[in-house]
Amino acid sequence: MSAAALLQGDLFAAAEALRRHEVTAVELTTASLAALQEHGPALNAVVELWDEDALARAERIDAERQSGAALGPLAGVPLAHKDMFYRHGKRCASGSTVRRDHVPKVTASVIERLDRAGAIDLGRLNMVEFALGLTGHNDITGHPKNPWDTDHITGGSSSGPAAAIAARLVFAALGSDTGGSIRVPAACVGITGLKPTYGRVSRAGALPLSHSLDHVGPLARSARDLALLLEVIAGADPRDPTAVDRPVPPFVQLLQRPLGGMRLAVAEAPFELPLSAEVAGLFDRAVERLSGLDVETTRLTLPPLEPLNALRRVIMLAEVATRHEDFVREQRAAYNAYTLARLEPGFAVAATAYLRAVTWRAEALRRFCDEVFTGADVLVTPALAEPIPRLDAAGSADTAAYVRLVNSMGHFICPFNYLGLPALTLPIGLTENGLPMAMQLVGPPFAEARLLRLAHRLEREADFRLGPPPFPAADHA
């Protein structure tokens, strides 16, 4: 199979082809760079490519493979990441003008781990300014566009990575998720995205937004790819005291374990935020497809999510405002209006409100797990309540319409940042406008293997996976 044809598939298959000498790292890297150069600009997905460095690393890996050297599980696989993961000596602007000349002196721990596994880093992908926004809008770098219909949003803040993966320009990417910034864009473009348990993956060397809520995780085209990437990046890290010292399971191997009557609690209507009729129909049909697997399903009325969303907003607003206070005072005009619309309310958050939200978190987690996971292994929820909106649907960033849209898009997603629970989104079909729709799988703490195993079976046996979007990815097949 040619490198360009492999690029249409998933990361796992490409890694296997490399190990079997069916393709070289140089061929695969060249194909991905060509796709990013040709189609990345139309999607506003790419910030900067490191062509020479990437091809030189690919040549070294090919030479090592020919010599019989032991190589890592991702040896020769090209990836590109959200423009917020530091690499020593390489510019990292984080979707902003404020940090457009920032050149870090450290490399993010997750990037170092991918390097050790043999992955090839192609460069920086576009994102929402400072990772603050769920729609994907960025007036500074250009709004990334959805490859299913470029008049629609990608979701954010991992917007460029989501667009590039869905359009078959790159296999996978790392993103961050403070309030849905992995899962929402994955849902909007028809790929898979995983927010691990808080502390499962180190955040050292990744742009901080809200230290109590930030998570790092992978976006890819399959649960198997997510499993492989998580196996590489997870684990304790002396550079991040919040990274939990807990054994990392063999996530890929565990995909083959039978479901064995796994108990699913399926969220049922009425919801606090009602689903549109179209989304409700897709979600109900997806739930029906669960019956073909070896699982037990029960219906569950969700615990109230809005209080959890409100508590998360208090924490995020206070922590983001604290981090950006000096920048806003000195360089306010350099900020995107969408970012300011989200950031400025944080300056008015009372310390007492912030401390209540932080201290209530452990009790909220205990209560939620008691109510949901005492009788279930996985919670199944909608991902979004409405079809994917158009880029122009949010209105001006200084109006309440934008904030309402963001809060609506995060309703089913954001509570699990506050609770720190692992959560995964995967596609369930297309709405009438030809845009993807998704559902969400949520587990108790450190149940990533369970979520990945279920998602893998859903993809394989229940058609929970979309093909390429209409964007002209086929041109480089």
In tens, the pLDDT along 185-194 reads: 999 999 999 9
pLDDT for 336: 85
To the nearest 5 percent, what fractions of the chain are helix, strand and coil?
Answer: 45, 15, 45
- The structure's pTM equals 0.97
> Do residues 273 and 383 make contact, with C-beta atoms less than 8 angstroms apart?
no
Domain that residue 339 falls in: 3-476
Distance, CA of 392 to CA of 414 (rounded, Å): 23
pLDDT for 342 equals 85
202 vs 217: CA distance, rounded Å: 10
Q: For residue 319, give Cα distances in angstroms to 178, 242, 309.
A: 11, 16, 15
**Least confident residue range of 282-286, 334-338, 419-423, 456-460:** 334-338
- Residue 226's identity, in one-letter code, is L
- With cut-offs at 50, 70 and 90, classify the pLDDT of residue 393: confident
**Average pLDDT of the residues in 255-270:** 96
Which residue, among 340, 357, 456, has the nearest Cα to 397 in the 3D structure?
Answer: 340
**Residue 394 Cα to chain centre, angstroms:** 22
pLDDT at 46 over 60: yes
- Residue 401 is predicted with a pLDDT of 81
List the one residue out of 122, 1, 139, 109 whose CA is nearest residue 52: 122
Name the phi and psi angles at 154, rounded to 5: -90, -15
Residue with tokens 């901080």: 208
For residue 291, what pLDDT band results from cuts at 50, 70 and 90? confident
Judge residue 288's burial from the number of C-beta atoms within 10 Å of its C-beta, 0-12 exposed, 13-18 middle, 19 or more buried. exposed
DSSP string, 217-245: EEEESSHHHHHHHHHHHBS--TT-TTS--
Name the pLDDT band for 384 (thresholds 50, 70, 90). Answer: very high
Q: For residues 405-429, give the mean pLDDT.
A: 97
Count structural domains, the chain: 1
pLDDT surpasses 60 at 398 = no
What is the pLDDT confidence band of residue 475, given thresholds at 50, 70 and 90?
very low
pLDDT over 90 (residue 369) = yes
Q: Which of 177, 178, 184, 418 is nearest to 312 (CA)?
A: 418
CA distance 425 to 413: 9
The total number of residues shown for the chain amounts to: 477
Token readout for 409 is 């898009």
- Cα–Cα distances in angstroms (integers) from residue 53 to residues 50, 122, 291, in the given order: 6, 8, 49
- The pLDDT assigned to 399 comes to 66
What is the arrangement of strands in the sheet containing 46-49, beginning at the earlier edge strand? 46-49, 120-125, 78-82
The pLDDT score that the predictor gives to residue 48 is 98
Kindly state the average pLDDT of the residues 276-282. 98
Query: CATH number of the domain that 195 lies in?
Result: 3.90.1300.10
Beta bridge partners of 308: none
Residue 152, strand partner residues = 390
Distances (CA, A) of 448 to 99, 172, 354: 34, 18, 29
Which range (331-335, 340-344, 369-373, 392-396) has the least confidence?
392-396
- The residue to which tokens 């994102």 are assigned: 127
Tell me the catalytic residues. Answer: 82, 157, 181
139-185 pLDDT, tens digit per residue, is 999 999 999 999 999 999 999 999 999 999 999 999 999 999 999 99
Residue 477 has pLDDT above 60, yes or no: no
- 219-247 average pLDDT score: 98
> How far apart (Å, rounded) are the C-alpha atoms in residues 404 and 421?
24
pLDDT at 396 over 80: no
Find the helix or strand (DSSP H, E) in which 268 lies.
Answer: none
- The reported pLDDT for the residue numbered 232 is 98
**In this model, does residue 437 exceed pLDDT 80?**
yes
Burial class (CB in 10 A: 0-12, 13-18, 19+), 403: middle
The percent of residues above 90 in pLDDT, for the chain, comes to 93
